[in-house]
């Protein structure tokens, strides 16, 4: 890291030299000026701090301070003077001086102040750098895709980013719903204020209210101090309510008030707090179905669903896979210092053939593993295969298929029996009611089918066994 430049301004050569030695021993780079005019010529954006004498010919230190502040308003200036007068100190501070030291000064005191200034500047610079990285990572360019669905999403995000309207993003897990939410924030006019994500499914119901609204000290046993909630932290910015469909009805009512009134009350408090926030919500559930079941408020649905964005599963936009692969390769090259240039035809065929039940998140993880495992500058087919971890997640649509066999209060065995009953009914429909053909379609013996139907209380007509009473193999339960 380059040494910070400190501009020293003093008409006395001995004082300039003394300060130069003190600063360089501490690791700073001293730039010396004998008067204000020379100082103004030497002062530029690379200077971290100015140390100037007050009493100088032609232009005083206070006037130099004022001129510097007009050009570089954030540049810290330390004043030193042989005249220990409180009026001079007051005037210097009013003009924008960071600190004021009378001569003779203690070098350690000046160095202490310099360390504070430099550390503060480093923190500001690092924060600006990280924020710039964050904005660039989550701007509209990070929504990768040329498929019609993704072009439509990009156009919609660009159009509504600067509006105050609430947005509901629907889609399966791993489809990039949070990425879309962040793009909405960083592309809009709230980007300078906080983006605060809250995963409603990951936080226990008993804690979610306190997390969102905050609380007053003493409002419950563990409330040992006042705590800001996420809504208060996000004032001026965006709150992203991920998996809003998992929120309880009681909490939904309180969220509705925030949307309607733009205010909330902390736990243990009576005073309402006004906030200026935009709410973006996301869900992998069908909220209209949840409304029918009485699990989601209809009025809240219409409040959050002013703008609707549907994030498609990766299986419906496979033409975007090559673009996503290159995007993730560039990202992981940068993060890991690798130099992967692409994937072989075989590797791309492997990636295109996979069903990606975990969607874009699964593809991202696979490319990260492939970049790590790859020994050359091209990801080969074997590396691509090794990088795809067999998923325990249900294939696309299976969740909804299984869901059809569960009713409120069902046990596991009740659901299994409902599933089995449906299979047998379908087999009889396909076989035209013929018992033997139904058993054949189910790939079980007639004896096993008869036994299962009896267990399930199902009625059916079985044709007579063939003459001679052909021996039947035992069913699963008869073994």
Residues of the chain with pLDDT under 70: 1-2, 83-89, 126-142, 391-412, 459-479
Instruction: Read off the CATH number of the domain in which 339 is found.
Output: 1.10.8.60
Which of 271, 293, 310 corresponds to the end of one domain? 310
Q: Exposure string (b/e) for 368-379, b if CB count within 10 Å is 16 or more?
A: bbbbeebeeeeb
Residues 421 and 352 in one domain: no
Q: What is the pLDDT of residue 168?
A: 97
How does strand 29-33 pair with strand 47-53?
A: unpaired
Place of tokens 């970049």: 371
Residues 213 and 292 in one domain: yes
Q: What is the pLDDT of residue 438?
A: 84
Residues 354 and 234 in one domain: no
How does strand 5-9 pair with strand 342-343?
A: unpaired
Whether 339 is in a domain gets the answer yes
Which of 105, 129, 153 corresponds to the end of one domain? 129
Q: What is the pLDDT of residue 401?
A: 52
Instruction: Read off the CATH number of the domain in which 24 is found.
Output: 3.40.50.2300
Q: What is the pLDDT of residue 119?
A: 85
Residues 17 and 91 in one domain: yes
> Where does 139-194 show beta strands of DSSP type E?
167-170
Whether 473 is in a domain gets the answer yes
Assign 51 to helix, strand or coil.
strand
- pTM for the model stands at 0.56
Instruction: Read off the CATH number of the domain in which 191 is found.
Output: 3.40.50.300
Residues 279 and 206 in one domain: yes
Assign 331 to helix, strand or coil.
helix
Whether 394 is in a domain gets the answer no
Whether 398 is in a domain gets the answer no
Residues 382 and 432 in one domain: no
Whether 352 is in a domain gets the answer yes
Residues 176 and 274 in one domain: yes
Whether residue 79 contacts residue 97, with contact meaning beta carbons closer than 8 Å, is answered with: yes
State how far the Cα of 364 lies from the Cα of 343, in Å rounded to an integer. 14
Residues 294 and 341 in one domain: no
How does strand 29-33 pair with strand 5-9?
A: parallel
Interval 322-370: pLDDT, tens: 999 998 998 899 889 899 999 999 999 999 999 999 999 999 999 999 9
Q: What is the pLDDT of residue 128?
A: 58
State how far the Cα of 435 lies from the Cα of 449, in Å rounded to an integer. 9
**Alpha carbon of 96 to those of 8, 42, 43, 102, 421: distances in Å?**
17, 20, 17, 17, 82
Residues 265 and 177 in one domain: yes
Q: What is the pLDDT of residue 467?
A: 37
Whether residue 5 contacts residue 28, with contact meaning beta carbons closer than 8 Å, is answered with: yes
Residues 163 and 274 in one domain: yes
Place of tokens 């009914």: 425
Whether 401 is in a domain gets the answer no
Print the domain residue range for 305.
139-310
Which of 258, 277, 310 corresponds to the end of one domain? 310
Q: What is the pLDDT of residue 103?
A: 78
Whether 467 is in a domain gets the answer yes
Structure tokens at 116: 């504070």
Q: How many CA atoms lie within 13 A of 437 on its CB side?
A: 10
Neighbours of 210 (CB within 10 A): 19
Domains in the chain: how many in total? 4
Q: CA 78, 84, 90: angle at the middle one, nearest 5?
A: 60
Whether 396 is in a domain gets the answer no
Residues 19 and 101 in one domain: yes
Residues 182 and 242 in one domain: yes
Q: What is the pLDDT of residue 477?
A: 40
């Amino acid at each position: 890291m380059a040494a910070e430049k400190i501009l020293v301004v003093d008409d006395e050569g001995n004082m300039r030299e003394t300060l130069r030695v003190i600063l360089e021993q501490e690791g700073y780079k001293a730039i010396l000026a004998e008067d204000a005019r020379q100082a103004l010529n030497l002062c530029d954006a690379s200077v971290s701090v100015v140390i100037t004498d007050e009493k100088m010919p032609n232009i005083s230190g206070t006037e130099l301070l004022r001129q510097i502040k007009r050009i570089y308003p954030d540049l810290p200036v330390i004043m030193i003077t042989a005249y220990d007068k409180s009026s001079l100190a007051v005037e210097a501070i009013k003009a924008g001086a960071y600190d004021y030291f009378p001569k003779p000064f203690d070098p350690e005191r000046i160095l202490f102040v310099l360390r504070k200034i430099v550390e503060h500047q480093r923190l500001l610079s690092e924060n600006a750098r990280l924020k710039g990285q964050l904005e660039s990572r989550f701007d509209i360019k990070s929504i990768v895709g040329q498929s019609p669905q993704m072009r439509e999403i990009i156009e919609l995000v660009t159009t509504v980013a600067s509006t105050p309207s609430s947005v509901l993003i629907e889609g399966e897990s791993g489809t990039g719903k949070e990425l879309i939410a962040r793009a909405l924030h960083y592309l809009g006019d709230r980007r300078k204020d906080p983006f605060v994500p809250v995963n409603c499914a990951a936080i226990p119901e008993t804690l979610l209210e306190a997390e969102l609204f905050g609380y007053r000290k003493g409002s419950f046993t563990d409330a040992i101090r006042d705590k800001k909630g996420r809504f208060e932290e996000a004032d001026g910015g965006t709150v992203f309510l991920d998996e809003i469909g998992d929120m309880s009805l009681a909490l939904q009512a309180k969220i509705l008030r925030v949307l309607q009134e733009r205010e909330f009350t902390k736990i243990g408090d009576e005073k309402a707090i006004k906030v200026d926030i935009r709410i973006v919500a996301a869900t992998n559930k069908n909220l209209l179905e949840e409304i029918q079941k009485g699990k989601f408020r209809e009025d809240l649905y219409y409040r959050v669903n002013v703008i609707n964005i549907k994030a498609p599963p990766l299986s419906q936009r496979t033409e975007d896979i090559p673009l996503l692969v290159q995007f993730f390769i560039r990202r992981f090259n940068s993060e890991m210092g690798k130099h992967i240039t692409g994937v072989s035809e075989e590797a791309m065929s492997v990636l295109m053939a996979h069903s990606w039940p975990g969607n874009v998140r699964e593809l991202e993880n696979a490319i990260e593993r492939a970049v790590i495992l790859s020994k050359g500058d091209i990801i080969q087919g074997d590396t691509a295969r090794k990088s795809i971890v067999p998923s325990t997640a249900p294939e696309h649509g299976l969740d909804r298929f299984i869901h059809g066999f569960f009713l409120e209060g069902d046990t596991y065995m009740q659901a299994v029996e409902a599933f089995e009953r449906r299979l047998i009914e379908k087999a009889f429909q396909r076989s035209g009611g013929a018992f033997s053909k139904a058993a054949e379609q189910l790939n079980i013996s007639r004896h096993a089918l008869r036994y299962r139907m009896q267990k399930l209380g199902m009625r059916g007509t079985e044709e007579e066994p063939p003459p001679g009473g052909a021996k039947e193999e035992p069913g699963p339960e008869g073994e």
